[in-house]
Amino acid sequence: MSETAQLKIGDKTYDLPVIEGTEGEKAIDISKLRDQSGYVTLDIGYKNTGATKSAITFLDGEVGILKYRGYPIEQLAEKSTFIEVAYLLIYGKLPTAEQLQAFEFEISHHTLVHEDMKKFFDGFPSGSHPMGQLSSLIGALAAFNPASLKQGLSAGEINIEIIKLIAKMSTIVSWIYKKSLGHPVIYPRNKYDYVTNFMHMTFGQRTEDVEIDPVVVSAMNKLLILHADHEQNCSTSTVRIVGSSDANLYASISAGISALWGPLHGGANQAVVEMLQKIKEDGGDVDKWVAKAKDKNDPFRLMGFGHRVYKNFDPRAKIIKKACDDILEKLGINDETLEIAKKLEEVALSDPYFVERKLYPNVDFYSGIIYTALGFPTEMFTVLFALGRLPGWIAQWKEMKANKEPIGRPRQIYVGETDKNYTDIKDRK
Ligand code: CMC
């Protein structure tokens, strides 16, 4: 007989089914509890609430494990490419050579973006944040693809939208960068692989072919792979919950992009580099900034430190730290902020405040230093996180649809005023 949990409230006992995942994780299924007892559960910030059953990504934050579809992140980061990982996440298995070729072919033939989309850039004020532009432009793709709005799309029709979105996202991201410089946009070239094409559109010129260094392409592939999925989190759960209302793919991803923007989530990569620069300009006194982070009367937090689920180390941070050393050495760059980051890590990791709270560097701590070395301005970092996270969001949206999950609709405990009578405006104080 399968395990059950018992909940005793007053003199009544309720049997609740226990669900076990394939990696041995256990959960108490409370979905019928309210019908049985009238009680709801309360878990602000969903710190201990499973919102779905998912077969995409597994992570064990106590041990520091991250796997996509069963494959360890370390192997994928070392051996795979971003597009192969995208296939793995979205379709559930590693592609054969023919499947990968067909996937790449399809994507490279949908990279053009409707010319009218360029008019949006005339409306954005100069200097407007790239994440605001990205969420607007991805949402606007729905308007340019009305077929995606039809209810009850077939699997084949959904797949076309998925391919289009992956293809156009890289073009849109590079256009945002080019437009921020006031430069003309660069059009995609089908002959390049996804990442080379993206770098070509971002750093290329209209007049001549720019050589894209394979070292740079490899570093970019690694970064995108490491960001490709991270099971349930603020942006991914947003994508699933928006999609659960039957909102189209573009609207759901646009909502995910907005959720990612915050500095406590994807926006941390920009915040980290800004923090490191501030420490540098302030004289590089790392101890002073660690003390500020510990001071409960000071709102400053060590950006790029801490994680809701990783309580040992973030496996992505380990890979990125090494990649950061490698790329800077290969490109012959001596970055002072990297030295500050390493000192900061050393001081924080030997400080009881951080040790007791299990606060370790996360994925964002070193990624910004690599993005800077590759030539991206700070404000583009979170957009690059979004480019990497796109296949994960798509896979999660697709899985939510395939599982026919009901519309997301949490409960609450009301703690406001009760039974007030309307008073005329002249009688109010
Ligand atoms: N600097 C100083 N203190 C911290 C930090 C930090 N970066 N992170 C957590 N703490 C303290 C926090 O003040 C609290 O202390 P106390 O128990 O005395 O009240 C304790 O550690 C637990 O923190 P929490 O805020 O309750 O933890 P959380 O799980 O709600 O938040 C977090 C996780 C990532 C939002 C948080 O660690 C943080 O704000 N980190 C900095 C922002 C950052 O780097 N975010 C990127 C996360 S990785 C990318 C992604 O996937 O989103």
Residue 142 and residue 251 in contact, taking contact as beta carbons nearer than 8 Å: yes
Distance CA 17, CA 157 (A): 37
Question: Which atom, in ligand 1's list, is nearest to the CA of 293?
Answer: 2
Q: Which amino acid is at 339?
A: E
Q: Using CA positions, which residue lies closest to atom 41 of ligand 1?
A: 303
- Burial grade of 124 (CB within 10 A; 0-12, 13-18, 19 or more): middle
pLDDT at 15: 97
Q: Are 162 and 398 in contact (CB under 8 A)?
A: yes
Q: Choose the catalytic residue: 116, 364, 419, 427.
A: 364
User: CA 423, CA 275: separation in Å to the nearest integer?
Assistant: 51
Ligand 1: does its nearest atom lie under 6 Å from the Cβ of 314?
A: no
CB 346 within 8 A of CB 289: no
C-alpha–C-alpha distance, residues 242 and 239, integer Å? 5
Q: Which residue minimizes the CA distance to atom 2 of ligand 1?
A: 301
CA distance 102 to 178: 29
Q: Which two tokens stand for residue 40?
A: 């709801």
Please tell me if the CB atom of residue 304 comes closer than 6 angstroms to any atom of ligand 1.
yes
* Ligand 1 pocket check for 359: Cβ under 6 Å: yes
pLDDT at residue number 1 = 54
- Side-by-side strand order, sheet with 65-68: 57-60, 65-68, 71-72
Fold of 4-65: Rubrerythrin, domain 2 (2.20.28)
pLDDT per residue as tens, the chain (429 positions) = 579 999 999 999 999 999 999 999 999 999 999 999 999 999 999 999 999 999 999 999 999 999 999 999 999 999 999 999 999 999 999 999 999 999 999 999 999 999 999 999 999 998 999 999 999 999 999 999 999 999 889 999 999 999 999 999 999 999 999 999 999 999 999 899 999 999 999 998 877 777 888 989 999 999 999 999 999 999 999 999 999 999 999 999 999 999 999 999 999 999 999 999 999 999 999 999 999 999 999 999 999 999 989 988 899 999 998 888 889 898 898 888 889 998 999 998 999 999 999 999 999 999 999 999 999 999 999 999 999 999 999 999 999 999 999 999 999 999 999 999 999 999 998
Burial of residue 258, with CB atoms counted within 10 A of its CB: 0-12 exposed, 13-18 middle, 19 or more buried? buried
Using the atom order of ligand 1, give the atom closest to the CA of residue 301: 1
CA distance 231 to 56: 7
Distance 357 CA to ligand 1 centre (A): 9
Does the Cβ of 197 fall within 6 Å of ligand 1? no
C-beta neighbour count of 395 within 10 angstroms: 27
Question: What are the residue ranges spanned by the domains of the chain?
Answer: 4-65, 78-411
Which of 261, 265, 296, 305 has most ligand 1 atoms within 8 Å of its beta carbon, as the pocket-test mutant? 305
Write the residue with the smallest CA distance to atom 4 of ligand 1. Answer: 301
Answer yes or no: is the C-beta of 264 below 6 A from any ligand 1 atom. yes
User: Catalytic annotation on 364?
Assistant: yes
Name the percent of the chain in helix, strand, coil, to the closest 5: 55, 5, 40
Q: Looking at ligand 1, which residue's alpha carbon is closest to its atom 8?
A: 306
| CA–CA distance, 66 with 72 (Å, rounded to integer) | 6
Distance 364 CA to ligand 1 centre (A): 13
Question: Strand, coil or helix: what is 8?
Answer: strand
Q: Could you confirm whether domain 78-411 is CATH 1.10.580.10?
A: yes
Give the list of residues 6+ apart from residue 53 with CB closer than 8 angstroms, or none.
Answer: 19, 21, 403
Look at residue 312 in the predicted model and tell me its pLDDT. Answer: 86
Q: Ligand 1 atom 17: the closest Cα is on which residue?
A: 357
Is residue 170 lining ligand 1, measured as CB closer than 6 Å? no
Distances (CA, A) of 153 to 317, 402, 406: 39, 12, 17
Distance 305 CA to ligand 1 centre (A): 7
List the catalytic residue out of 307, 326, 351, 424: 307
Nearest to 166 by CA among 83, 263, 225: 83
Q: 302: Cβ below 6 Å to ligand 1?
A: yes
Number of Cα atoms under 13 Å in the Cβ half of residue 38: 3
Distances (CA, A) of 227 to 11, 56, 82, 167: 49, 14, 10, 17
Does residue 183 contact residue 171 with C-beta atoms inside 8 Å? no
- 232 touches ligand 1 (CB under 6 Å): no
Q: How far is the CA of 158 from the centre of ligand 1 (A)?
A: 37
Task: Annotate 69-128 with DSSP letters as a single string.
Answer: TTEEHHHHHHH--HHHHHHHHHHSSPPPHHHHHHHHHHHHTS----GGGGGHHHHSPTT-
Determine if ligand 1 sits within 6 Å of the CB of residue 307.
yes
